[in-house]
Amino acid sequence: MPAGTTGRPRFLASVMSVAEALTAVAAGAEIIDCKNPAAGALGALPVQTVCAIVEAIAGRVPVSATIGDLAPQPEILCPAATAMAATGVDLIKIGFFDGGDAGASIEALGRLDLGRSGLVGLLLADRAPDFNLVPAMAAAGFAGVMLDTATKDGRALPDVMQPIEIASFVASAHSAGLFVGLAGALRREHIPAIAALTPDVMGFRGALCAGTVREGSLEEGAVRAVARDLSALARRPSASYAIIEALQ
């Protein structure tokens, strides 16, 4: 069955290198996410590395990339997004951290010519996220929005936000026409409960690594285990899948 048509959350695997990307795809990952965990919650890889990953994946699955833990200022985020778009990624993940002007940044990002790259806003569950930014992202032409955690201290998304709050976020994003991703130190045992909140994407890093340490090396067996657990979930309808499918 083609990735993204199963009616359950799509499996996003964060990787640091071409080797990890190829391992993840072979083991069942459905979105490859370029990220440097050692450089922060949304640490960016060098554009040369992202280019190499895009070339190696060769369109088999969508590729996303983070731009770093940057202040939400238009003059900071826009050049970083433009540079990452030049790599040919399908999705550019923009984190909205504390301070700055998130609203102005979203409007400015929406005016950029990023070629084939779509924008994904990322809100931080452990940093008092402003869910009012979701409709602004939709109005600016973002493809999707994700919820993650900023502090990587072992606490997972369900530890820092109540299920009813997460469900409200998912519902508001879907109502705005965005696809929705949930991440944040998620482990295999979280899959059933998080999937029940109906996200379109679930993101993993630590759960895929040796010793479940996000800075560690990706392990093929761990990737296969997460892919197997996600594949076992019951089918559900999701109109937002059409947005993700359009990326391929």
Among the listed residues 6, 11, 81, 93, the single catalytic one is 93
Q: In the annotation, is 152 catalytic?
A: no
Model pLDDT, residue 4:
38
Give start and end residues of each alpha helix (H) in 27-93.
47-57, 74-85
Instruction: Identify the residue with better confidence: 117 or 151.
Output: 117
Annotated catalytic residue, options 8, 12, 20, 35: 35
pLDDT digits (tens, 9 = 90+) for 140-199: 999 999 999 998 788 999 999 999 999 999 999 999 999 999 999 999 999 999 999 999
Contacts of 94 (CB under 8 A, 6+ apart): 67, 77, 81, 105, 109, 119, 120, 121, 122
- Taking every pair of Cα atoms in the chain, the longest distance, rounded to a whole number of angstroms, is 44
- 93 is a catalytic site residue: yes
Q: Is the pLDDT of residue 135 over 70?
A: yes
pLDDT at 221 over 80: yes
Residue in the block written with tokens 């761990």:
222
Domains and CATH numbers, the chain: 10-245 (3.20.20.70)
Q: What pLDDT is stored for residue 151 in this prediction?
A: 87
* Separation of alpha carbons 69 and 95, rounded Å: 7
Question: What's the mean pLDDT when you consider all of the chain?
Answer: 92
Question: Model confidence over 23-47: pLDDT tens digits?
Answer: 999 999 999 999 999 999 999 999 9
- Alpha carbon distance 245, 1 (integer Å): 13
pTM (two decimals): 0.92
Rounded CA-CA distance 23/100 in Å is: 38
